[in-house]
Amino acid sequence: MKTALIFGTSGLIGSQILKLLINDDNYNKIKIFVRSIQEINVPKVEMILTDFKNLDNYKDNIKGDDCYFCIGTTKKNAPDKNEYRRIEYNIPVDVAKIAKSNSVKSFIYVSSGFADPNSSGDYLKNKGEVEEELKKLNFTNLGIMRPAFLMGNRKEKRIGEKLGLIFFKIISPLFLGKLKKMKPIHSEFVARAMIKVAKNNFQKTIFESNEIVELNNS
C-alpha cells in the first residue's frame, strides 16, 4: 500500500488525480496540500493546510511514495512578475527538493508542450527550467507531462483559452506526424497517464501530449 502526495487538487488535472486515487486500492493514504479547506470527507485523504511561501515548515508532511505536482497559474491571477515566477518555478522546485530529501520515489510534474528553458516567453521558460531542475534531482521515477490545450470543466473562466481551444479542436484533424502533440487533450487523460507513469518504469521521462493519449490506450 502506498501514500500519494498531491499538489494542486483545485485544478483540472489535480482534481482528477484525487478522484482516481480515492478509488485506487494501491493507495491507502492521500495527502493533499491546499491553501484553503476543501470539503472532502474520505478517510484516506489527509488535508494539509499549506503556506506555500514557507514550504520548509512542511518537510515532515511531504513524505510518501508518489508525488503528483499540478500547481500552475496565469499572469492574470499573478500579474506581479516575481509572484508569477515563485508559483511557476520556485514552488515546484522547492517541493521536489523536499520530496527527494524525504526519499519520495516518484515525482510526476505537469509541464507544458514546447517547454523550453531558453524560451523568450515566461510561461514556457519557467516550465523548461523546472524540468531541468527536476532531472538533476535523480528521482527513482520522474515523469514530466507536456499536455497541449486542456479540455475539462474549469472553476474559473478563461475566455482567451476557451477560444483557443475551440480553434485547435476545429483544426486538430490536420495535426499529423510531429504535430500530433498539439491536439487538445482531456484533463482526465493526463491524470490517468500520470498515475500510470508513477506505477511503472517506462525508461523515459518526458511525455508529449500525443504520448499521454497513447498511455491511456495501452
Distance CA 199, CA 160 (A): 35
39, pLDDT greater than 90: no
Share of the chain above pLDDT 70, in %: 86
Q: Cell numbers at residue 110, please? A: 505537469
Q: In the chain, what's the furthest Cα-to-Cα distance?
A: 49
pLDDT at 66: 98
Distance CA 64, CA 24 (A): 16
37, pLDDT greater than 80: yes
Summary mean pLDDT of the chain:
89
- In which band, very low, low, confident or very high, does the pLDDT at 151 lie, cut at 50, 70 and 90? confident
Distance CA 91, CA 95 (A): 6
Question: Cβ distance 33 to 26 under 8 Å?
Answer: no
Top-level CATH class of 2-217?
A: alpha beta
Domain ranges of the chain: 2-217
